[in-house]
Amino acid sequence: MKKSKLLMIVGPLLMLGLFVFPLWNITLEAPQYPTPLGMNMHINKFSDVHEFDIKNINLMNHYVGMKYIPETIPEFTIFPIVIGVMVVLGVLIGFFANYKWYLAWFVLMFLLGAAGIYDFYLWEYDYGHNLDPKAIMSFKNPDGSPMGFQPPLLGTKNILNFVAHSYPRGGAYMMFTGMFMTLGAFFIGKKEAGENN
């Protein structure tokens, strides 16, 4: 089998890792939490890093009026379908389609990924800004506007007494690897096509 074909088949299959490993993780550190509180985001659920972490994040966050992290969100139904379809599509393209389709698949996946990240940002923004007006404690920014508690999209940020870390996890790394393999498959496929001519 051609190298490009192989990459185009294996790449999308790697994304199946998203059904096993978390996509993203937010960790909250504070002096009184020597074992930090952590929440994993999967494509179909939230999970505790240590048992009851989400319950305890909720307990902490209610002081500033943040909402409780919901049991489930609509994305948890949509994401698995999208990923499932993209994997199947990718494998089919790998087997049966021309290398140009490889790029098409990559671009589509890239756009879907970007949409996912934007959705995550919106959710975080709402979670960090849409605070209970009866909140126990309210903090203002130096300019007088109400302080938000949005965790960073990617990276590390101080939020009051917490240091919040937001980074991809195993599932995301497998997805990125898979996507770059399909991109590679396109370039290698292109080269292979050139040699054959």
Q: Would you say 4 or 61 has its CB closer to another protein?
A: 61
Alpha carbons 49 and 60: distance in angstroms, whole number: 16
Non-local CB neighbours of 5 within 8 Å, separated by 6+ positions: 94, 95, 185, 189
Alpha carbons 172 and 26: distance in angstroms, whole number: 14
For another protein, the binding residues (CB under 8 A) are 35, 51-52, 55-56, 58-59, 62-63, 68, 136-137
Q: Would you say 55 or 129 has its CB closer to another protein?
A: 55
Number of helices followed by number of strands (H, E) in the chain: 5, 5
Q: How far is CA 82 from CA 1, 108, 134, 162, 163, in A?
A: 28, 11, 39, 34, 33
Q: How many CB atoms lie within 10 A of CB 145?
A: 8
We find the least distance from the C-beta atom of residue 42 to another protein, in angstroms, to be 21
We find the least distance from the C-beta atom of residue 65 to another protein, in angstroms, to be 11
Alpha carbons 166 and 63: distance in angstroms, whole number: 21
Q: Would you say 63 or 167 has its CB closer to another protein?
A: 63
We find the least distance from the C-beta atom of residue 193 to another protein, in angstroms, to be 59
Using a 10 angstrom Cβ sphere, with 0-12 exposed, 13-18 middle and 19 or more buried, the burial of residue 31 is exposed
Q: Would you say 32 or 197 has its CB closer to another protein?
A: 32
We find the least distance from the C-beta atom of residue 137 to another protein, in angstroms, to be 8
Q: Would you say 68 or 118 has its CB closer to another protein?
A: 68
